[in-house]
Structure 1
Amino acid sequence: MQYISTRGGMQPQSFSETLLEGLAPDGGLAIPETLSQVGAETLESWRGLTYPELAAEVLALFATDIPREDLDRMTAAAYADFPDDVVPLRSIGDGITLVGLSEGPTLAFKDMAMQFLGQVLEYVLEKQDRVLNIIGATSGDTGSAAEYALRGKDRISVIMLSPQGRMSPFQRAQMYTLQDANVRNIAVSGVFDDCQNLVKKLSGDLDFKRAQNLGAVNSINLGRIAAQSVYYFWAWLRVTDAVEPQFRRGFEVSFTVPSGNFGNILSGFFAKGMGVPIRRLVLAANENNVLDEFFRTGVYRPRSAADTHATSSPSMDISKASNLERFIFDLVGRDASGVADAWKSLDTDGFFDFTAEQPRFEDEFGIVSGTSTHADRLATIRSVYEDAQQIIDPHTADGVHVARSFVEQDVPMLVLETAKPEKFAETITEAIGVDLEFSPEVRLMMDAPQHVTEMADDEAALRAYIVEHALR
């Protein structure tokens, strides 16, 4: 499989080359030239695999330039510290099943891709005798997952931007208490979109990017999208374990995905395109519901930093969804000029308009959407606790709330879990009056000294910081 840019200005590249690039040289995002197809017989042959074994099978379709035995070793290492049941499925009633994605070291779904990314980045850098300075932006969980996956690696440094005061105390502690020499945190005055804009500006300056050996681990990195697609295959296989073999072929399920930057649901879009029988991909937004507005109306109108709400599901407090560009590329028939026209409208008018194409979102691509509020989150956490005796985090609650509007008879509805509830203990207490117990290790982390550099939303200051601290 080779990769091209959504903006048409990149010669086809291998998976390894794309992995180190992050943002494409023309400012676009890497996209497969053609998605590999997985037939029903192949899907059935994967049924008895462990999660690391399945990951190797799926990722081998993306990383065709990496020897299979190396992929087997990397996926085994990536999930070695997870419980045996790497991705458990748990019913909460009313036709809804949670896909457990928070069993990794930082208790969030980002670990599922980031642990593999840490392995494969180190592998490629050693093969090419290179170093990489990761410049990233996080609204909460990407930062900690990246830092835990990459800490202590000799050829990689991490400089992670996060919005000042916009993450939960647990999220801040998880990132800012790390003392590894190759990990640095910067708290930017502003919101996540300001952090993401800084990353894109520096990644788009090719001379600076190459001089400073910059790379990315945000979901603009195609490696993360590929690794996340694995659990869509896994969840379909586990749900259909209970289906009589003669009825498994083409048996459809739906997924609801709490969404901020459109990366997690894009992985499902890839999985559907590769052959997983997915009926609907349901996008769940919080009060920052720019994506919901787009999928309901066809008009995409990002908000300013001042109009981006601080919510109780902070990892979704995003207005500009980077990965939407990859969907737009397919929407316009994989025509880079159509992507360019949309982004030109965005730059000049503050929005782009695909109203005429909106019916295709569900009819052709199977994507629908909905919005959840703080009150909805509290009520959903409460109802799941009372009815199923399970505690879910507020982002997962956004997913469950929206999923309930799209449950169909005889079509299992799978909601992707986002994080463990301990990461958002204050909201859990508000919802159900329960004070979550922290382990001794977590209490030590919460009380440990925090190390973070505060910085204005200032591109020049960030450039100077990178020049001073980058590996060479």
Structure 2
Amino acid sequence: MKYISTRGGMQPISYSEALLEGLAIDGGLAVPATMPEVTATQLESWRGLDYADLAAEVLALFATDIDRDDLGRMCRDAYGHGKFVADDVVPLVPLGFESNTPVKPGALTLVGLSEGPTLAFKDMAMQYLGQSMEYALARKGTVLNIIGATSGDTGSAAEYALRGKEGISVFMLSPQGRMSDFQRAQMYSLADENIHNIAVEGVFDDCQNLLKVVSGDLDFKQAYNLGTVNSINLGRISAQVAYYFWAWLRATDAVSAEERATYRISVTVPSGNFGNILSGHYARQMGLPIHRLVLAANENNVLDEFFRTGIYRPRSSAETHATSSPSMDISKASNLERFIFDVLGRDPQRLAEVWLKLDATGELDLSEELPRFEAEFGLVSGTSTHEDRVQTIREVHEAGGPIIDPHTADGVKVASEYLEADVPMLVLETAKPEKFPEIVLEATGIALGMPEHLAGLLELPQRVTEMPNDAPALRQFIEANATQ
């Protein structure tokens, strides 16, 4: 399996190279040259596997240059006993959410992705990425300085996965004042010498733009061995594919063998940077029977507009709202380029041309392709507001379901708009509600305490460097602190 750039200016590279590369040298994103396929027989043979072994099977289809035994060990180290709270790593929890659509009992189900060390779905990919990056660097005999941008959960998940790793330093950009107290404390309280937190004046998109500017400076990138763990990193996309397969297998455990081959589910994904739902798109292309992929946006609903109209209009920092689901406060989705690459027939020349138009005009018009978004790719979307989040958290709790976080509430709200009588709907959980106590209190009247294993987190001293939205300042900081 080789990987190419969406923009066509990179020679095919291996999976291990893509792990360390981040942005392609032409500014595009690495994608599989050909998508691996999973047959119904192969899928059924995975039913009895635990999560670590299933992840190894799925990742082996992408990481063909990594020894299979080594890959299995890395997955066991990432998802083995003690790393995740739930014994099965990703539990499925039926919700009692009311709707006007007559659906089967248990048809709206939460896919629990927040059982890891930072209580967010990002742990699912980051724990694997920490193992695989260290492995790839050791084989190559080099070091890596990771530059990342976070709107909330990516930063802590990356830092917890990479803290103390040999040959790796992390430079994580976050927007000043735009994350919850819990999210800031998780990141800024880490004292490991290889972890560098940088609070940037602006919003997440400013952090993401700084990352792209510095990573796009090829001389600087090569001189300081820069890589990334943002959702543009192919390792994260491939690792997330695994839990779509896991969710389908667990959702069909009670289904007869005769029905399984054609048994379809729909999946709703709270989305900001389009990475998590892109993994579902890849799983569907690989052959997983997914009927619809439902994108849930918050008030920063650029992606919802795109999937409803075919027109993509990224917004400026000033136009990006600060909402009560802050990890989705993103107005320019980096991973959308990978989806558009598929829409354009995987033609890098066409992709490069439309991206030049986007850069020049600030708008991308694919309205002629709009009917294909759902008909061919199964992608639909919806928007949720603060009032929707509050109501959804309250209703799910009052119906006997778990207390959910605001991003997951966005997902449940939009999922309720696409329920069908014969197609179970799964909603990907984003984080534990303890990370967002204010909106939970508003919705339910319940004051959530800190999880026992994180008691005292908010009182720990914090270490962070504040910085203007300035690429030269960021370069200077990296030069002074990079691992060489």
Distance 1:250 1:440, change over 3 A: closer
Question: What is the CA distance between 1:339 and its match in structure 2?
Answer: 1.1
Question: What is the CA distance between 1:440 and its match in structure 2?
Answer: 4.5
Correspondence for 1:17: 17
Deviations 1:63-106 (A, max 9, x none): 00001000010000001211321000000035310000000000
Q: Secondary structure at the match of 1:284?
A: strand
Partner amino acid, structure 2, of 1:52: A
Matched, 1:119 2:115: no
Partner amino acid, structure 2, of 1:323: N
Partner amino acid, structure 2, of 1:389: G
Of residues 443, 447, 461 in structure 2, which corresponds to 1:435?
447
Q: Secondary structure at the match of 1:62?
A: coil
Q: Secondary structure at the match of 1:135?
A: strand
Question: What is the CA distance between 1:343 and its match in structure 2?
Answer: 1.2
Matched, 1:360 2:372: yes
For the 8 Å contact 2:434–2:451, the answer to whether it is kept is: no
Q: Name the CA distance, whole Å, in 2 between partners of 1:154 and 1:390.
A: 39
Matched, 1:224 2:236: yes
Of residues 84, 89, 95 in structure 2, which corresponds to 1:86?
89
| Segment drifting more, 207-216 vs 332-341 | 332-341
Question: What is the CA distance between 1:159 and its match in structure 2?
Answer: 0.5
Q: Name the CA distance, whole Å, in 2 between partners of 1:249 and 1:327.
A: 26
Deviations 1:391-444 (A, max 9, x none): 000000000000000010110100000000000011100111100122354231
Of residues 130, 149, 152 in structure 2, which corresponds to 1:140?
152
Q: Name the CA distance, whole Å, in 2 between partners of 1:438 and 1:325.
A: 38
Q: Name the CA distance, whole Å, in 2 between partners of 1:306 and 1:444.
A: 35
Correspondence for 1:299: 311
Correspondence for 2:186: 174
Q: Secondary structure at the match of 1:360?
A: helix
- CA RMSD of the aligned region, Å? 0.7
Of residues 336, 346, 349 in structure 2, which corresponds to 1:334?
346
Q: Secondary structure at the match of 2:235?
A: helix
Correspondence for 1:419: 431
Q: TM-score normalised to the size of structure 1?
A: 0.99
Q: Secondary structure at the match of 2:455?
A: helix
Of residues 348, 370, 382 in structure 2, which corresponds to 1:370?
382
Question: What is the CA distance between 1:154 and its match in structure 2?
Answer: 2.1
Correspondence for 1:273: 285
Question: Between Structure 1 and Structure 2, how many residues are aligned?
Answer: 472
Partner amino acid, structure 2, of 1:361: F
Query: Which consecutive residues of structure 1, in runs of 5 or more, have no partner in the other structure?
Result: none
Q: Name the CA distance, whole Å, in 1 between partners of 2:304 and 2:452.
A: 40
Percent of aligned pairs with the same residue? Answer: 69
Q: Name the CA distance, whole Å, in 1 between partners of 2:449 and 2:347.
A: 52
Q: Name the CA distance, whole Å, in 2 between partners of 1:439 and 1:3.
A: 41
Of residues 294, 313, 316 in structure 1, which corresponds to 2:325?
313
Q: Name the CA distance, whole Å, in 2 between partners of 1:126 and 1:443.
A: 36
Runs of at least 4 residues off by over 2 Å: 439-443
Question: What is the CA distance between 1:340 and its match in structure 2?
Answer: 1.2
Deviations 1:231-278 (A, max 9, x none): 000000001101011110021000000000000000000000001000
Distance 1:439 1:417, change over 3 A: closer
Q: Secondary structure at the match of 2:371?
A: helix
Partner amino acid, structure 1, of 2:115: E
Q: Secondary structure at the match of 1:402?
A: helix
Counterparts in 2 of 1:145-164, with a 5 A limit? 145-164=157-176
Correspondence for 2:40: 40
Q: Name the CA distance, whole Å, in 2 between partners of 1:375 and 1:98.
A: 21
Correspondence for 2:269: 257
Q: Name the CA distance, whole Å, in 2 between partners of 1:454 and 1:272.
A: 42
For the 8 Å contact 2:110–2:429, the answer to whether it is kept is: yes
